[in-house]
Amino acid sequence: MKRNLKKQKGRWVQVPMFLLLLMLCSMVQAQVTISGKVTGSGNAAAPNVSVVVRNTNFGTSTDATGAYSFSATLKPGKYVLEFSGVGYKTATKNISIESGTNSYTSNVELEDDVLGLDEVVVTGTGVATKKKQLGNAISTVSGRELTRGGATSIDMGLQGKVAGAQVTQNSGNPAGGITVRLRGPSTIVGSSDPLYIVDGVIVNNDSRQLIDLGGYAQNRLVDLNPADIDRIEIIKGAAAAAIYGSRANNGVVQIFTKKGREGKPQFNFSTQLRSSSLRKKLEYNKVPFRFTNFIASDLTTVPVQRYDLQDKIFQNAIGTENVLSVSGGNVNTKYYASVSNLYNEGIIRNTNFMRNGFRLNLQQKLNKTMTLNFNTAYTYSTSKEIPNGGINEAYGALTGFIFGNNYVNPDKDPATGIYPSINASAIVARTNPLEAIERFDFRQKTSRIVSSAQLTIKPVTGLNIEFTSGIDNYTQTATAYIPPRNTTPSYSGGFIRRADATVIQLNNDLTATYQKEIANELQSTTSLGGTLQYDRTLTFSANATQLGAFGQTINNGTIAAGEFRGERVIMGAFLQQTFGFKNRYFVTGAARVDASSVYGIDNRWQFFPKVSGTYIVSNEKFWSDGLAKAVSSLKLRAAYGQSGNLTAIGQYDRFTNFSPVVYGGQAGYIAPSTLGNFTVKPERQTEVEVGFDLGLLNDAISVEFSYFNKDVKDLILNRTLAPTTGYNNRFVNIGTMTNKGFEFLVRAVILNKNKLRWVSSLSYLNNKNIVNGVEGNGVLPFAGGFGQVAAVNGYPLGAYYSTFFARNPDGTLLRDLNGLPQRERGIQLANGNYTVQRGSNGQPTGTLLSKVIGQPNPKHVISKIDELDFGKFNFRMQWDAMLGYDVFNFTKRVGDRDFYGGLKGYEPELRGEVPKGTSAALFSIFENWIEDGSFVKLREVSLAYNMKPKFLKGNSMRLSVIGRNLFSFDKYSGWDPEVNAAGQDNAVRGFDFVEVPIPRMIMFAVNVNF
Amino acid sequence: MKKIFVYSLSLIAIAFSSCKMDIVNPNGPTDAQVVSTREGLITYSIGMKQNYAASAFESLAITTGGTTREVKGIATFTTVLEIEAGGSALPTFNAATLGVWLRMNRVMGMADDIIANAPTVLATDNALRSGVVAHAHLFKAMAIGGLATAFEQVPIATNKAGGVTFVTRQNGLLKAIELLEQAAALIAATAPSGEFNTRVAGANFNLLNCINAYLARYNMMAGRYAQAIAAANLVPLSSVSQFAYDGAQTVNPLYNQLRVVNSYSPRDNFGLPAGLFDPADGRIAFYFQGAQVSSGPDVLRTIRGFAQTNSSPIPVYLPDEMRLIKAEAILRSGGTVADAITEINAVRQQSSGDAFGVHANLPAYSGSTTVNDLLIEVYRQRCAELYLSGLRLEDSRRFGRTAPPANVNPVPVSFERNRNFYPYPDQERLNNPNTPADPAI
């Protein structure tokens, strides 16, 4: 197998070599200078517009005044000058080089490209390509769109701006915790996060729970400062991503940071003050008495005073952000540098996140043909955390809040300073949230450097060779301290944890692209590339318990430590060929081979093909003027591709790995619970995408529509084994998963008159995810969802699978003999099916039944963005909606129950409106706690005023007021239907268990250019 | 230009050839390394023992202890609520009953590996082999016995390929007895080497005494009274064999469950109804501490006994179990009642000298001396002496305590146990067509 591929590789090399030879013939040439000025609408200077002589290597960019000048060696003849820049429609000018004339001038006025129809992208293509020519949909987001709404991280900024993406903020903690899904998930055991590439560096976006914060975790994309971003390109599946091969199952997000611009130093300073607050409070139990006991027949009560702990837990938080950047340079050297500080307090008291960033992007022209880009960013981020949630641990503040009795005065004893357990019963202590906030000390620190060197060589016309070497290296350190003698249920002797992760990722990529008009109106683009990726993860963790009264390091208690070291190598190569004919027909074919050290030798090498075609119908001659007025452009496209997931399982998961243990002073090894599997192979996705792009009314309206069908086969399931095998589980390629749906993006210039411009866009995603191939009874529960979340054949990933109400034929509740609601019983069948059984007394009999009672994947993901420019004012508003999904409201399940009873839902039982014992009965009927999570949120709204005050000497300044998550229209009874207590977990979604809600934010920002 | 291209290609070629795709896991050995080497089998034996002590024993003691009311499930986790409720409402997917099944089978799987590989890997080291194999036999027997405590039918061998068949618990016990007899014969033929005694058995673990104690226990469970008495007689009462815990890597599971995790809490007076315990029993103060806390109809205490710290050792067996086995076997086999009373009184009146400090400090037995009443007295003594050691469920059945009703859920606390046997876990049934039918209760 390996030998075979080597042979293939050899053959691939021959193709571009042949193409190279083709272009070696040269002719008599003359040295000429071409210069001019480029303007935009209203005769304004158009800076940073690229000017090139088509089909040659000569060209430059305009400076701040819109002027350009470059010299070229051209043989006499007719040439085409091409002017392209972000925000402008590409324009061309003919130029005729005559012998004897050395100097030429060409001025041009560019039209605004309000809807970005002329964008140039590089992701998925290997070389800058007009979006128009691509056979697949690609989304682009500008740095401006990203930052205007006050987002603190890149992925947060992507919310609502990408058709086909579902971006969910899982926690309202100040560092977020965000999940991005492009056209649905594509794995169960791995991560469904897209591949993130920043300036050619594959960056790590792990969500490590080094300390247990209840399920919440930061995802490491939070280390990147959105203000440094120039633009983002997003491809969403295998059809586009095949050339990224092994890691592209979830799509690719390619991020480009800002580059320096020719000219004198241009400074930009922005400062922001933000205020965050709790958007909505839970209604709490205000009944001024409680039952004396939990015996159903005993209705005696005692008076109590009820407290609203939310007032003591949440705060109005303050945040600041300051960014200073400078860019400039000359023809040969350009630079962009920035320094930034973000300080963001959380709405839970005593939580915050701080990020300090430094960036330097350098571009140096080495000689006529070679350019070096060197980009480096260093980030140091720190956070102060309060644990909440409680997927595994019960020491959190909000965890204590929901499990506590709200008739216990939470304040500490004024005499002793000791906090009371929030549980009235002495059997189990419940963490007093105020103690957690005041006495616990949980922190995280991350020191990270992301750096890349990109060497671009243009040795001859049409040939572009790019070598990228990237490194992403960080150390994340987390510490936890719970002092001894506290109110936690499990750690009364105190708890200390220190955990470190040191991650390094390296990637080396070499791509050569050759473009040539090989016959009249037949354009050929050939790309050949190779990649070598290496990553290493070192984690260390130590816990200490039985603490002394002082000290926060692990040496203050009995230590248990652990360590993991993992290494992984991935290599791959691709060849891609595009033919464009008459600027109408485009066909692309690509092949990629990949290998990952994660898999055994027999399954290591994988082959991924891709093919796509585009037909720009509106470029046909028959597209008459009359038709073109109504439908200014029409493009049909279709794409097919495969990609893999070479990182779904861990580095060594194919082995049966024994665990070391020291027992009685002797080293020993325990057989693991996971049985190894040498035959496990990478998951493989096949995607078909068809769609069209439409421009209407002279491109005043643009429509992008795509239908997609993503099919994952060889889906790896961590299937359970019969325990009599001696093992518990094993990774096996038995599942399948599909994502079928469509997405569209409609953008329209509604008004464009004088000083008023109104641009509106609407994006929509409809996706249906289905899992199949689960063996046994077709149900595979996941950890992290309290056993209530499972893969069920025929249902979407993350379906809630649990107990439900026994009902009468008419749908009313079938109550038990005590008049309480009860769970359904009968015979459990496979795939979530069942047969209900009734005993002779009409009551349910048989085993307790489970079925799919809800699912967390929205049917409709919709965003609407309106942007109004009126003179110096800019108004922007973004509404995000996710409709047709369920939330598992564990918060209410606990808070409504008699033992805890801190929420309003317990009041009817106290008041005698329902039989005593109802809340306890409902507690185990999980169907009762599924709620519709559909919401429409005012995600972003901003009003900015642009001015050019005299003291800035022609430079500009912007003042803005920004609101974020100000309102939500939903029927959800909890704090926020958007969060997920299981954090960035791939399978457990929509799980509300006292996760911190997303705050309402108001910001004031000043941005100055000088 | 051509040069650059050639350079670049060679750069890729160099990069590719220099990187290894077969990366060795530095975090621990694979199965192949462990079962094929001498060091591997020694360390595997240690790991197996640790796993029983930390994991399998925890499930046996706590889960069956919940079923027999020794501890009360106080957490509102579904798993705990279901164990506390018992009855026919106990679902086949309960995580705690799965825990008993899974953990015992895992220990059995490790023992099977060692038994299968020791004859070849340790072919030339007789003294190490006899110890390692006998030790694996003991743990395999303990795994079968643990399963037979809670399930009607049990596997007597694991199989990585699946499709294991089951035998009745009686036959399972006979298999466990056979394994233990073979183990005793092995070490009688070739005394285990010093290396085995130091590294695998370790301090405070006498392999032969453990084998004989479990022989006595399983013979008693299997109704083989003469053999039970014979084996019990071989166990010196002063000898101490215990599972060690370091409080960090291996935490005392009783302490961890009852003092840290706090999903269960001990019921006062060994969870027994009035009449089955004596308030003057010194063992109440041995096993319990702290205030009596009311919880509905129950009174809860804080655990003491063998769970005082997270590093307290737990006995592999308690010596007085041998006395009570003898008493019971005498009574059940129609032996001399006075001999049985002598053994009972040796336990009742013990006020010092117990190897583990478990002293009843009660007066001599003065009640009815009918066999039935004396058997109840043996039960009483077993409940107190052997509190929370994973034996109560078997005892409750063997001594004919009232079975729980099959149609009342949850089973009222007045019943001393809320299940006879557990249903077979879904995880077994869904993956193994040979899984037997579930018991009604």
pLDDT at A117: 66
Name the minimum distance, in Å, from the CA of A298 to any CA of chain B: 12
Q: If pLDDT is split at 50, 70 and 90, which confidence band does A123 have?
A: confident
What is the band of A126 on the pLDDT scale with cuts at 50, 70, 90? low
A659, two tokens: 């665990």
Please give the pLDDT value at position A20.
40
Report which of B190, B85, B69 is spatially closest to residue B132, judged by C-alpha positions: B190
Mean pLDDT of chain A: 90
Nearest-CB residue to B78 (from A595, A728, A924): A924
Sorted by sequence, the CB contacts under 8 Å of residue B25 that are 6+ apart come out as A651, A652, A655, A657
pLDDT tens sequence across A810-827: 999 999 999 999 999 999
Q: Which residues of B touch A559 (CB under 8 A)?
A: 248
Give A22's pLDDT tier (boundaries 50, 70, 90): very low
**B28·A532 Cβ contact <8 A:** no
Q: What percent of chain A has pLDDT over 90?
A: 67
Q: What confidence category does residue A425 fall into, taking pLDDT thresholds of 50, 70 and 90?
A: confident
Residue A345 has pLDDT above 70, yes or no: yes
pLDDT score for A23 = 39
Euclidean distance between CA atoms A108 and A102, whole angstroms: 20
Chain A residues within 8 A of B4 when measuring between CB atoms? 457, 459, 465
Which of B8, B43, B310 has the CB atom closest to A465's CB atom?
A: B8
Question: Cα A908 from chain centroid?
Answer: 42
CA-to-CA distance for A813 and A898, rounded, in angstroms? Answer: 21
pLDDT at A294: 87
pLDDT of residue A765: 96
Report the distance separating Cα B101 and Cα B431, nearest Å: 14
* Predicted confidence (pLDDT) at residue B56 exceeds the cutoff of 70: yes
At A101 the pLDDT is 82
Residue A781 pLDDT level (bands cut at 50, 70, 90): confident
A331 — pLDDT class (breaks 50, 70, 90): confident
Helices (H), B369-420: 371-385, 392-398
Contacts of B78 in chain A (CB under 8 A): 786-787, 924
How confident is the model at residue A26, as a pLDDT? 37
Rounded mean pLDDT, A288-302 = 92
Question: How many residue contacts between A and B have a Cβ separation below 8 Å?
Answer: 246
Say whether A664 and B203 touch across the interface (CB within 8 A).
yes
Q: How would residue A625 be classed by pLDDT, with cut points 50, 70 and 90?
A: confident
Q: What is the pLDDT of residue A3?
A: 42
- Asked if the C-beta of A567 comes within 8 angstroms of chain B's C-beta atoms, the answer is yes
Phi, psi of B23 (to 5 degrees): -95, 130
Taking CA atoms, B22 is separated from A547, A568, A600, in Å, by 43, 9, 8
| Nearest-angstrom CA–CA distance, B55 and B53 | 6
Phi, psi of B198 (to 5 degrees): -75, -45
Task: Give me A150's structure tokens.
Answer: 């006050």
Residue length, chain B? 441
Position A5 scores a pLDDT of 39
Please name which of A480, A446, A439, A398 lies closest in space to residue A211, comparing C-alpha atoms: A480
- Enumerate the residues of chain B whose CB falls inside 8 A of the CB of residue A293: 296
| Range of lowest pLDDT (A334-338, A643-647, B334-338) | A643-647
Give the pLDDT score at A50: 85
Rounded CA gap, B130 and B119, in Å? 9
- The string of pLDDT tens digits covering residues B182-222 is 999 999 999 999 999 999 999 999 999 999 999 999 999 99
CA nearest to A778 within chain B: B430
Using the predicted structure, report yes or no on whether residue A740 has a pLDDT greater than 50.
yes
Encoding tokens for residue B78? 């579904």
Q: Is the pLDDT of residue A322 over 90?
A: yes
pLDDT band at B248 (very low <50, low <70, confident <90, very high): confident
Cα angle: A996, vertex A999, A1003; to 5 degrees: 150
CB-CB neighbors (< 8 A) of B441 in chain A = none
Tell me the C-alpha distance between A118 and A126, whole Å: 18
Percent of chain A scoring above 70 in pLDDT:
96
Lowest-confidence region among A249-253, A393-397, A752-756: A752-756
Q: Answer whether residue A512 shows pLDDT above 50.
A: yes
Question: What's the pLDDT at A479?
Answer: 97
Instruction: Compute the 3-state secondary structure of chain A and give helix, strand, coil in percent, each to the nearest 5.
Output: 10, 50, 40
Is the CB of A724 less than 8 angstroms away from the CB of B75?
Answer: no
Q: A993 CB contacts (<8 Å, ≥6 apart)?
A: A214, A215, A389, A390, A391, A890, A891, A981
**Over residues A925-938, mean pLDDT:** 96
B11 vs A contacts (CB less than 8 Å): 467, 510
Is B49's CB within 8 Å of A668's CB? yes
> Mutate which of B98, B132, B262 to test chain A, going by most A C-beta atoms within 10 A?
B262
Structure tokens given for A260: 């320096």
This prediction's pTM: 0.89
**Confidence tier at A28 by pLDDT (50, 70, 90):** low
Q: Which two tokens stand for residue A984?
A: 């960035």
With a CB cutoff of 8 Å and minimum separation 6, the contacts of A815 are A821, A822
Q: How far is A543 from chain B (nearest CA, A)?
A: 9
* pLDDT mean over A305-326: 96
How far is Cα A405 from Cα A579, in angstroms, rounded to an integer? 70
Check B25 against A655: CB less than 8 A apart: yes
In degrees, rounded to 5, the angle at the alpha carbon of residue A298 between the alpha carbons of residues A292 and A300 is: 45
- The pLDDT score that the predictor gives to residue A698 is 80
pLDDT the model gives residue B12: 52
pLDDT class of A80 with cuts at 50, 70, 90:
confident
Q: Collect all residues of chain A within an 8 Å Cβ-Cβ radius of residue B25.
A: 651-652, 655, 657
* Residues in chain B within 8 Å Cβ distance of A673: 102, 106
Q: What is the pLDDT of residue A8?
A: 42
Residues of B in contact with A489 (CB under 8 A): 262
Contact (CB<8Å) B21/A595: yes
Q: Which among A290, A177, A788, A214 has a CA at the least distance from the CA of A488?
A: A214
Question: In chain B, what residues touch A573 (CB-CB under 8 Å)?
Answer: 12
Which residue of A lies nearest to B13 if distances are taken between CA atoms? A530
Q: What pLDDT does residue B42 have? A: 97
Our CA-based measurement puts residue B378 at a distance from the nearest CA of chain A, in whole angstroms, of 32
Q: Which of A543, A546, A563, A538 is nearest to A554 (CA)?
A: A543
DSSP H helical segments within A404-526, as ranges? 433-439
Query: What is the pLDDT at residue B15?
Result: 53
In the predicted structure, residue A686 carries a pLDDT above the cut 50: yes
pLDDT exceeds cutoff 70 at A710: yes
Least confident of A513-517, B212-216, B391-395: A513-517
| Number of helices followed by number of strands (H, E) in chain A | 11, 55
Backbone angles phi and psi of A264, in degrees to 5 = -75, 165
Structure confidence at residue B278 (pLDDT) = 96
A583 close to B (CB below 8 A)? no
Q: What b-and-e string marks burial along A254-267, b requiring 16 or more CB atoms within 10 Å of the CB?
A: bbbbbbbbbbeebe
Q: Hey, of B3, B4, B299, which one would you mutate to test binding to chain A, going by the most A CBs within 10 A of its CB?
A: B4
With CA atoms as reference, the chain B residue closest to A829 would be B430
What count of residues does chain A have?
A: 1010
Instruction: Please name the member of A465, A563, A722 whose beta carbon is closest to the beta carbon of B4.
Output: A465
Q: Has residue A19 got a pLDDT over 50?
A: no
pLDDT one-digit tens code per residue, A885-914: 999 999 999 999 999 999 999 999 999 999
Angle A4-A7-A11 (CA atoms, 0-180°, nearest 5)? 140
Model confidence at A107: pLDDT above 50: yes
> Could you report the per-residue pLDDT of A932-949, keeping only the tens digit for each?
999 999 999 999 999 988
Cβ contact (<8 Å) for A671 and B50?
A: no
pLDDT band (50, 70, 90) for residue A379? very high
